[in-house]
Amino acid sequence: MISMLPELSHHEILRYSRHLLIPEVGLDGQRRLKASSVLIIGTGGLGSPVALYLAAAGVGRIGLVDYDVVDFSNLQRQVIHGTASIGELKVESARKRMLDLNPDIQVDIYNEPFTSENARRIAEPYELIIDGTDNFPTRYLVNDLCVLTGKANVYGSIFRFDGQVSVFDARRGPCYRCLFPEPPPPGLVPSCAEGGVLGVLPGTIGSLQATEALKLLLGIGEPLIGKLLLYNALDMSFEFVRLRKNPNCKVCGSQPEVTELIDYEAFCGVPGHDHVEGAVGGGWDITAAELAELLKSNRQVQLLDVREPHELQISCLEGARLIPLGQLASRLSELDTTQEMVVFCKAGTRSARALELLLSAGFRKVKNLKGGINAWAAEVDPSLPIY
């Protein structure tokens, strides 16, 4: 009922005056936004523009879920944070910026991982969920949660120059699982931390997610339900793919198999973290300091670099052999199984996958450089940059 919506103060009317002039929004629409609640999963590249624009638009209650801290390397794309916020909790940094932008809204923060154990509790007060993560376990968790609780899921993803946006609402169309019934094999799709992302790309995709959220909250326009928007920044192209609901979908189909939240890390075969770099453990890791001592001992050790060739321009280890991870399986014959080997990449994630491949192929004298060449730069050779 319109009469039950919160009133706008005089200064709010002035703040939102450009909205009030739009017939599709108007005074009643702005009151709806003030009464609305949105949960944003992640305050990184995508979460930054989403949170800023929803705060500026006057969405009355916004929840933020993240458990990372602001890192210097985030600032290239995570525009809600600043240099002064380095080392601060991302949710605290984001809330501070949002309330500076609009002190008339409520910002709830959840400094914890979003998991099957806490997802229902965190999401319960919010009518709409926006997925700003970059890992598959959380994407499937958000999707299943939205299907099971009857909420819409505003989805976005980014990689290098490409982005995707859609609205998954099982009440009116397909869900994420209708499009992707199973996650890709672990390691097949690199994260932004491994493959990179153009700094402005999350601004474009996040702004589109915020647009879809406002349309849903206001009940205007045609949301991207049943459509997947594909964006490429290099040729500035927008394409649309029509999506259909899968009647056999395991979560939103006529006979669903998934009726409760499951273990999504086990389902996807990868950790549900955006920022924690991989480590193998189990005796297969070697630290930068340990590798330095090993190299000083004059033992014959092959250093295997599984990064991409262009990364050598940033930093490299003398004497290392370059075989990018994507080529490793076809080039195993070039390596000596009898020789001690240390595999490394930027931060230890790709090399951990390379080590698993080497072990499965019969290599045994092999270690993974924990933390990658960045750890070497931080602990052994400060002349190398960290990236």
Both tokens of 24, joined, read 């599709």
The maximal CA–CA distance of the chain, rounded, in angstroms, is: 80
| pLDDT at res. 74 | 96
pLDDT (tens, 9 = 90+) of the chain, 387 residues, equals: 567 999 999 999 999 999 999 999 999 999 999 999 999 999 999 999 999 999 999 999 999 999 999 999 999 999 999 999 999 999 999 999 999 999 999 999 999 999 999 999 999 999 999 999 989 999 999 999 999 999 999 999 999 999 999 999 999 999 999 999 999 987 677 778 888 999 999 999 999 999 999 999 999 999 999 999 999 999 999 999 999 999 999 999 999 999 999 999 999 988 776 444 445 666 899 999 999 999 999 889 999 999 999 999 999 999 999 999 999 999 999 999 999 999 999 999 999 999 999 999 999 999 999 999 999 999 999 999 999
Give the pLDDT confidence score for residue 276 in this predicted structure. Answer: 44
Torsion sign, CA atoms 177, 180, 181, 186: negative
| Alpha-carbon separation of residue 53 from 135, 240, 290 (angstroms) | 23, 24, 47
- Chain centroid to Cα 96, Å, comes to 21
Catalytic residue among 146, 175, 249, 345: 345
Residue 308 in tokens: 């991409």
Which residue among 192, 249, 252, 268 is the active-site one?
Answer: 192
CA dihedral (233, 235, 236, 240) positive or negative? negative
Q: Which two tokens stand for residue 199?
A: 């700094």
Q: What is the strand order of the sheet 366-369 is part of?
A: 285-286, 366-369, 340-344, 301-305, 321-322
Do strands 128-131 and 152-159 pair parallel, antiparallel, or not at all (unpaired)? parallel
- At residue 194, the pLDDT reads 80
Q: What is the DSSP letter of 88?
A: S
Q: DSSP 3-state helix, strand, coil percentages of the chain (rounded to 5)?
A: 40, 20, 45
This prediction's pTM: 0.84
DSSP character string of 361-381: TT--SEEEETTHHHHHHHHT-
Structure tokens of 290?
């340990």
Q: What was the pLDDT predicted at 215? A: 98
Q: Delineate the domains of the chain, giving CATH numbers in brackets.
A: 36-268 (3.40.50.720), 285-379 (3.40.250.10)
Query: For residues 344 and 304, is the Cβ–Cβ distance under 8 A?
Result: yes
- Catalytic residue check, 345: yes
Query: What is the SS3 assignment for 196?
Result: coil
- Consecutive H or E run containing 112: none
pLDDT at position 260: 97
Alpha carbons 343 and 340: distance in angstroms, whole number: 10
